[in-house]
Structure 1
Amino acid sequence: MASRDPKPGWPAVPAENAGDAPTPAAMLAEILAQVSREALQGEDLDAVLRGIVDCLVQRLPVAIASIILLNDVGTHFEREVYAGELLLVQPELDNDWPVTLGAAGRCVRTGQPLLVTDVEGDPDYVAGNPSVRAEYLVPIRHRARLHGVLNIESTDAGFFTADVCAVFDAVADQIAGAIHLARMADQLEAANRKLRQLSSIDGLTGIANRRRFDEQLQADWARCARERQPLALLLVDADRFKALNDACGHLYGDECLRQLARVCAQLADGEEDLVARYGGEELVLLLPRRDGAAAGLVAEQLRALVEEEAMAHPSSTVAPVVTVSIGVAALVPRPQGSPQQLIAAADAALYAAKAGGRNRVEHPPVAGAEDG
């Protein structure tokens, strides 16, 4: 079948379809539109880059298309994503590919597109596949930031005409915008995660705050009810804490609370355990899948460890050091029940511990519920 002579670098078009053949400008517009879609639809930066190189090798007659990203300081290549009909031997990108090496490094150093028409004769070319004959590299730059290099390799030494190179120059500009958008999205998500984390942390002690505890209690109650597993709660109160603040000052009292939180965190060693500041000098340990006996052991260990810390308490009527009273409650939640039942039971147990002389653990049965 007769064919029209193609424009150098573009696929041949059958003569009977010549009138319908896309021009390089039209093909470029389609490619740029698809690159834009990849930038907007990719789940993360890797997905965006993968979609772009796949698009290039599907739409253009290139053997290899790769995007090589720089590290934040621009001294080394740290990541490469490629697609193509040829197997590309990739270097290990663990900070061992400095921009002082390779044709890609030369492209970064000069900041200009680099056309290698004879890879065997180029002193900087690093062979990725022996079938490659020519290579075109374009800096991927968004405003003042150089993100990396678009690398196109061909088995045809004459493939990279001026028109073809212009296509890849435009694609590199589009990729730069796509990378910028993806990184902005990543940074925004990281900032949102940080904000969510900060909103759930108590600023004084560094453990979870009351809001985080309330959310976790609801979730654990529902899960343990479904699984018929016990849920335990320790309500911990620093004994005579107001007297400690009055005698030693609030700065010392704050440091004692921080140390108390650290001791509590040591005992919350299960993956599902949560330590939180409940309010004032009260802390809580939420212990899913712990029955009353197990929770009581944790509470007694905690009481003893706090006393061993020997944080001075000159005005305590209980001991010369900071001590804690602990109320323990444990039950198997019922779907129709309320987490407030567990809190009320732990609070009643704490009241009993205080009434019994403080520096002690109390674990009365929970009325109207299966004991854990």
Structure 2
Amino acid sequence: MSNEADNPATEAPGLPWDVQDAPARRATLTRILVRIAREALQGDDLESLLQGICNCLVVELPVPIASIILLDEPATHFVREVWAGELMLDPQPIATGWPVTRGASGRCARLGTPQLILDVDDDPDYIAGHPEVRSEYLVPIRHRQRLHGVLNIECTRPEFLDAEACAVFDAVADVVAGAIHFARIADELTEANHKLERLSMSDGLTGIANRRRFDRQLEADWARLARERRPLALLIVDADAFKPLNDALGHLRGDECLRELAHLCGRFAGDGDLVARFGGEELVLLLPGCELARACAIAESLRLAVADAAMPHPASPVAPHVTVSIGVSACVPQANVPPEWLVATADRAMYAAKQGGRNQVRAADEGVAASAAGLSQEPPREAAAPRR
């Protein structure tokens, strides 16, 4: 809730309820409702909002216990309770699920109507929370057809729960219902945005990270490992003679091949590593903390795994099955060197593997791969040539 000092004319509690005359009591009830409505519109934290509502009711009114009990999605169990009051409630197993078949609160949820209990001793469903409580008013918290929970007001003085006070609690329950509804919409929108973000970072064909995600991860790992002075390795994996594969077996078979290659690459990625589709038939493995020798060993194991998978390739000039050429680069990143350096050197190594006969691993020049210190521009590019 807002700091009461911000709005002293409307926020500060007035005289105690017992010494207020009828107009003053109506003004108090109106002030409480306005305050709660304003907080519901301005608040962005549902938990603190619900707690603030309960606090407001017990501070402003002769209400020793005010609670908001929330239901699960199918409205069969109470699963969460927020409460405030001067009387300590006996612990109830709300966290493990309190079925709506029990208690006066459950009756309120089942019937969907307010329940006024002027004498708790006369109510067969009442379950005592404190021995001093003599009366109780329960209001369903409902937004349209969705029942969110129950507002529970427990009193030691039955005469307080007159028609005027109950009408205010009815209105408070409506405000709470609206606040919960909009909070849940906000949560759903947040989750939808997260899902869209994840989709925007994934390759639709293979399910692994896409080029956008790779570029972002490369930049982040490069900056972090430059600070830590630790190596970063990159493998560029290219399917050999991929166009002839598509021509011979069709694009659907080519797509299956890419999905299988992505799966095989994933087997060699550990925690913190990234497998991504770089473009076309090229896949990449980004390996933070990995030195060149280990990266080359991983690349060779991956090459052998692809060969062992024996995916048919009747049009390959290399083997009767799918093979890959892999370029490897590794360095200790430097802040004054762009991360694209790693991509360019691995790309050159992969091009060398293609030129050397395919189905092999080639590493970037040892001097280049050992450290990027002192480099300020990309390495010279070879003339463009088809890789296949």
Taking structure 2 as the reference length, the TM-score comes to: 0.85
Residue number in structure 2 paired with 1:363: 363
Matched, 1:235 2:236: yes
Q: Note the C-alpha offset of 1:366.
A: 6.1
Q: Note the C-alpha offset of 1:175.
A: 0.7
Distance between the aligned counterparts of 2:180 and 2:313, measured in 1? 58
What does the per-residue CA deviation read over 1:275-331, in whole Å, with 9 as the maximum and x for residues that have no partner?
111001111111111121222222222222222222222222222222221111111
Stretches of structure 1 that go unaligned for 5 or more consecutive residues are 1-9
Higher mean Cα deviation, 46-55 or 327-336? 46-55
Q: Note the C-alpha offset of 1:33.
A: 3.4
Distance between the aligned counterparts of 1:342 and 1:330, measured in 2? 7
Distance between the aligned counterparts of 2:221 and 2:32, measured in 1? 50
What does the per-residue CA deviation read over 1:100-157, in whole Å, with 9 as the maximum and x for residues that have no partner?
2211111122211101222233111122233322211001111222211111112334
Q: Tell whether the 8 Å contact from 2:17 to 2:25 is kept in structure 1 after alignment.
A: no
Residue number in structure 2 paired with 1:128: 129
Distance between the aligned counterparts of 2:116 and 2:360, measured in 1? 79
Q: Note the C-alpha offset of 1:82.
A: 1.7
SS in structure 1 of the partner of residue 160 of structure 2: coil
The 5 A counterparts of 1:176-255 are 176-255=177-256
Distance between the aligned counterparts of 2:264 and 2:364, measured in 1? 24
What does the per-residue CA deviation read over 1:7-32, in whole Å, with 9 as the maximum and x for residues that have no partner?
xxx6234xxxx69x983333233323
Question: Match for 2:53: what amino acid?
Answer: I
Residue number in structure 2 paired with 1:4: none
Stretches of structure 2 that go unaligned for 5 or more consecutive residues are 1-15, 373-388
- CA distance 1:369–1:245, change in 2 (3 Å): closer
Q: Note the C-alpha offset of 1:363.
A: 1.3
Q: Tell whether the 8 Å contact from 1:142 to 1:173 is kept in structure 2 after alignment.
A: yes
Matched, 1:137 2:143: no
Q: Tell whether the 8 Å contact from 2:29 to 2:165 is kept in structure 1 after alignment.
A: no
SS in structure 2 of the partner of residue 184 of structure 1: helix
Give the count of matched residue pairs: 358
SS in structure 2 of the partner of residue 12 of structure 1: helix
Residue number in structure 1 paired with 2:7: none
Question: Match for 1:240: what amino acid?
Answer: A
Residue number in structure 2 paired with 1:12: 18
Residue number in structure 1 paired with 2:36: 35
Distance between the aligned counterparts of 2:108 and 2:238, measured in 1? 65
- CA distance 1:121–1:301, change in 2 (3 Å): farther
- CA distance 1:26–1:159, change in 2 (3 Å): closer
Question: Match for 1:47: what amino acid?
Answer: S
Q: Note the C-alpha offset of 1:333.
A: 0.8
Distance between the aligned counterparts of 2:113 and 2:43, measured in 1? 28
- CA distance 1:283–1:28, change in 2 (3 Å): farther
Residue number in structure 2 paired with 1:6: none
Q: Tell whether the 8 Å contact from 2:72 to 2:78 is kept in structure 1 after alignment.
A: yes
Q: Note the C-alpha offset of 1:42.
A: 4.0
Distance between the aligned counterparts of 1:194 and 1:129, measured in 2? 46
Distance between the aligned counterparts of 1:158 and 1:94, measured in 2? 33
Q: Tell whether the 8 Å contact from 1:292 to 1:371 is kept in structure 2 after alignment.
A: no
Q: Tell whether the 8 Å contact from 2:40 to 2:175 is kept in structure 1 after alignment.
A: no
Distance between the aligned counterparts of 1:289 and 1:188, measured in 2? 37
What does the per-residue CA deviation read over 1:308-365, in whole Å, with 9 as the maximum and x for residues that have no partner?
2222222222222222211111111111110110000110111122222222211123
Distance between the aligned counterparts of 1:288 and 1:53, measured in 2? 50
Question: Match for 1:142: what amino acid?
Answer: H
Residue number in structure 1 paired with 2:289: 289
Distance between the aligned counterparts of 2:298 and 2:48, measured in 1? 46
Q: What is the alpha-carbon root mean square deviation over aligned residues?
A: 2.3
Question: Match for 2:321: what amino acid?
Answer: V
Distance between the aligned counterparts of 1:260 and 1:191, measured in 2? 30
Residue number in structure 1 paired with 2:161: 160
Q: Note the C-alpha offset of 1:41.
A: 4.5
Matched, 1:342 2:348: no
Question: Match for 1:262: what amino acid?
Answer: H
Q: Note the C-alpha offset of 1:185.
A: 0.9
Residue number in structure 1 paired with 2:262: 261
What does the per-residue CA deviation read over 1:63-94, in whole Å, with 9 as the maximum and x for residues that have no partner?
22111122222222222222222222343346
SS in structure 2 of the partner of residue 290 of structure 1: coil
Distance between the aligned counterparts of 1:255 and 1:44, measured in 2? 47
Distance between the aligned counterparts of 1:127 and 1:306, measured in 2? 69
Matched, 1:325 2:325: yes
Q: Note the C-alpha offset of 1:236.
A: 0.9
SS in structure 1 of the partner of residue 66 of structure 2: strand
SS in structure 2 of the partner of residue 158 of structure 1: helix
Higher mean Cα deviation, 321-330 or 69-78? 69-78
Question: Match for 1:170: what amino acid?
Answer: A
SS in structure 2 of the partner of residue 275 of structure 1: strand
Q: Tell whether the 8 Å contact from 1:76 to 1:95 is kept in structure 2 after alignment.
A: no
Question: Match for 2:190: what amino acid?
Answer: E
Q: Tell whether the 8 Å contact from 2:33 to 2:168 is kept in structure 1 after alignment.
A: no
Taking structure 1 as the reference length, the TM-score comes to: 0.89
Q: Tell whether the 8 Å contact from 2:330 to 2:369 is kept in structure 1 after alignment.
A: no
Distance between the aligned counterparts of 2:148 and 2:156, measured in 1? 27
Q: Note the C-alpha offset of 1:257.
A: 0.8
